[in-house]
Every structure is written in structure tokens, then in C-alpha cells.
Amino acid sequence: MSSLEIEIPTEAIGMLPIDHEQERIRDFSHALKRLQVIRPAEIDTDFTDERPVPFAIKRFLAFEHEDTLTFYTNPDVLGAPVDRVRFSPRISRVGKQSRHGVFFGDLQLGPGLQVPVAVKPHLDEERDSCLDEYFNTLAITQLGMSTLVELGFIYGDREEDPAYSITVLQEGLSTLDSVDWSSFYPDIEEHPGMLALWKGAAYQAAKLHAPGNRSHGDLAGRNVGEKGGALSDQTRVILLDWESATIGGQPPRDAEVRYSHSHSDITTIVESMCRSTDVDFRAGIGVFAGKSGDWWQGFRAVFLDSYLERRRQILDQTAADAATVRDVNEELAELEKSLQQDVAMYQDLALVS
């Protein structure tokens, strides 16, 4: 043995840190080898259903779904069946806070067709969330929101089958958690680029909430992204990760229903902005954490004023009836009040800790 070779004692091997990322990628490659079928998924979401997406998933499971492990592709992106897929991983900085452990790479779909992708595992008891993610994202796209493009999902019948949702990789995507916000607040006016990003996020949220029967379900900073590319492109801020979204088929009954949808999302954004980046549990993006000043006024200036302005603009443009106008105004007034309390609570908590 040369002096450069180091023998690792067997008992030390167990002490080496486990590379979960590498394990996930290995499992995914195994799953690809086990695939029996790769074909486009026929899915129709009926937006007049009471709950369009859960109903579409039920129909899929009843009529479309194969027994064996299958890669269902999005027919709009990959319309023809494929024989075989292989995966080669890429190295990244983004996506490291992902709860599911997203990873990135290239899918080789037969000769000459290679698609860069982001792969999200949905393991064990969370298997079915891969259906939620895929069907919700398709539905939200049909409803005119700009987001990531689904390539498809991998799903099988048996409990032990792995499940994955796969989106087309957006190489120029930057989520809010990949930005260092520590120098932004309170001198927000000195950062027009950062402010513009938040304004874009506020507009997207306003567009989502305007009908009153939709919510994103997990609107943390890491789920708001800016597509690189043209500055003039209005749709460059997108919301992603629609796994927990609610998309109603019926108009909202009253202001309270509207409020339940908008409040759950905006309060998540508030939490994400107020919480620090360097905690393990429920880490935020650290916009306000560690800063003195009036966080509520900061939140208004960074996000809420743009959101409310946009909501009212949309209301004006849609020639809503008197009852809707009343409901939306009631919803927004209530929203403002409760968010003020939320922000005050986070600021108090920060003072204590």
C-alpha cells in the first residue's frame, strides 16, 4: 500500500455522513429502470366540477391509470410514447431547502431527445401528492397563471412504488430564498430591483386570489420565483409548487370564503419574510428578521400595498356586480386587519427570542 492510500476502518464507515441527495438520485435511476410504460396521460379537468382537480384525479385513477409503474407524460410537452429513459444529474445551488428533496439533471428520452428537468420525489405516505402537484399545476396553467412546465409524473399502483413529479428545468429561475435579503429592509427604496420582484409576486398573488375560490396553499418565499430573461416580460415572476393548491369550481359564497383563500396565502408570505434564514424549523427568507423598525409599514411598502392595489384594479376591470364588490371590499379590509396582527406577532416573537 502506498503512503497516499488511506484505509478507512470499517467501524468509521457507519459514521460517514449519509448523502441523502445521492441516495435520492440513485433511487430515481432505479425507478426509471423499472418503468414498464412511458406514455402521454389523457387528463381532462372540468372546471365546472365543484372541486375540479380532485375530481380529475379520481377519473384518472379510475379509467386511465396502469397497474404497473408508469411515466405519464404531459401530452403538450411530450406527445408520443417513449421506450426508455435515462437520467444524468446536475449540480446546483438552488432547491436545497426543498422539503421533498428536489434534484436536477437531464432526462434522455431516446436518441436525440434530452430534456433538462427538476425531479421531485413524493415518497411513502405522500405518494399521492405527486398527483396533486401535477394536476394542480396543469389546471392553474389552463386558468392563465404562468408557472413551471410539467413534463409528467411517475406513479404506480403498489404501496411500495415510488412517485415523482417532473418539471422542465428553468435554468434562469431564481426563487426568493436564493436571494440574500439582509441588506434590503429598511432601505427598500435603494433596491428598486428587489422591490420590483416583490411587486411581481404581489401581482401574481392578486391574480390568483381575484376569483375568490383559489389559493396556492404554501406561498413561502421559496415558492415564488423570477424567471431570468427579459426585464420587460410581465410574467417573469411566477408562483411554483402547486401541490397544496385549492382551485374551486364554484364562485365563492361570501366574503368569508374569499378571505379564507387569500389570508392563508398572504399570511404564509408574511411568515416567510419575518422569520430568519438560520433556523432549522420553518426557516424564512429573512427580510425583516433581525431588523429594527416598523415591520408592518415595511410589509405594506414591500408587498401588501401592491397586492391590494392590484386586487382593486382587477375588481374594477371585471365589471363585478354590487354583491361581489361588497364582498371583495369586506375581504380586503379584514385581510389588512388580520395581517397587521400577524406582523405584530412576528415582530414581538423576534424581540423575545
Ligand X SMILES: Nc1ncnc2c1ncn2[C@@H]1O[C@H](COP(=O)(O)OP(=O)(O)OP(=O)(O)O)[C@@H](O)[C@H]1O
Interface stretch with ligand X, choices 165-173, 190-198, 203-211, 339-347 (CB under 6 A): 165-173
Name the residue nearer to another protein (CB basis): 25 or 335: 25
Residue 194 interaction partner, one of another protein, ligand X, none, beta carbon < 5-8 Å per kind: another protein
Name the residue nearer to ligand X (CB basis): 154 or 210: 154
Greatest extent of the chain over all pairs of C-alpha atoms, in Å? 86
Residue 228 interaction partner, one of another protein, ligand X, none, beta carbon < 5-8 Å per kind: another protein
Residue 223 interaction partner, one of another protein, ligand X, none, beta carbon < 5-8 Å per kind: ligand X
Q: How far is the CB of 83 from ligand X (least distance, A)?
A: 24
Q: Which of 57, 78, 102, 255 binds ligand X (CB under 6 A)?
A: 102
314: left (phi over 0), alpha (psi -120 to 50) or beta: alpha
Q: Should residue 30 be labelled a site residue for ligand X when binding is judged by CB under 6 A?
A: no
Cell numbers of 326, please?
Answer: 361588497
Q: How far is the CB of 98 from another protein (least distance, A)?
A: 10
Count of all residues that appear for the chain in the document: 353
How do strand 37-40 and strand 246-247 relate by DSSP bridges?
Answer: unpaired
In this structure, how many other beta carbons lie within 10 angstroms of the beta carbon of residue 75?
14
The set of long-range contacts for 202-206, using a CB threshold of 8 Å and a minimum separation of 24, is 202/303, 202/304, 202/306, 202/307, 202/310, 203/237, 203/306, 203/307, 203/310, 204/145, 204/237, 204/238, 204/239, 205/239, 205/262, 205/265, 205/266, 205/269, 205/307, 206/306, 206/307, 206/310, 206/311, 206/314
Q: How far is the CB of 285 from ligand X (least distance, A)?
A: 11
Q: Which of 73, 137, 175, 215 binds ligand X (CB under 6 A)?
A: 175
Name the residue nearer to ligand X (CB basis): 218 or 265: 218
User: Phi/psi of residue 77, each to 5°?
Assistant: -110, -40
Q: How far is the CB of 273 from another protein (least distance, A)?
A: 14
Q: What is the dihedral of CA 285, 264, 235, 50, to 10 degrees?
A: 150
Cell numbers of 291, please?
Answer: 431588523
Q: How far is the CB of 190 from another protein (least distance, A)?
A: 5
Q: How far is the CB of 17 from another protein (least distance, A)?
A: 7
Interface stretch with ligand X, choices 161-169, 263-271, 302-310, 329-337 (CB under 6 A): 161-169
Q: Binding mask 202-241 vs ligand X (x if CB under 6 A, - otherwise)?
A: ----------------x-x-xx----------------xx
SS3 227: strand
Supply the angle between the helices 192-209 and 305-317 in degrees, to the nearest 10. 40
Residue number closest to ligand X, CB atom: 95
Residues near another protein (CB under 8 A) are 17, 19-22, 25, 88-94, 96-97, 103-104, 116, 169, 171-172, 174, 177-183, 187, 190-194, 196-197, 226-233, 236, 277, 285
Residue 82 interaction partner, one of ligand X, another protein, none, beta carbon < 5-8 Å per kind: none
Q: Binding mask 245-284 vs ligand X (x if CB under 6 A, - otherwise)?
A: ----------------------------------------
Evaluate the omega torsion of the peptide bond into residue 116 and state whether it is cis, within 30 degrees of 0: no
Q: What's the rounded Cα separation, in Å, for the pair 145 and 315?
A: 17
Cell numbers of 286, please?
Answer: 429573512
85: closest CA among 105, 64, 101, 103? 105
Q: Which of 148, 255, 304, 339 binds ligand X (CB under 6 A)?
A: 148
Q: What's the rounded Cα separation, in Å, for the pair 120 and 169?
A: 12
Q: Which of 120, 122, 236, 311 binds ligand X (CB under 6 A)?
A: 120
Q: How far is the CB of 182 from ligand X (least distance, A)?
A: 19
Contacts with ligand X, residue ranges (CB under 6 A): 94-95, 98-100, 102, 118, 120, 148, 167-170, 173, 175, 218, 220, 222-223, 240-241
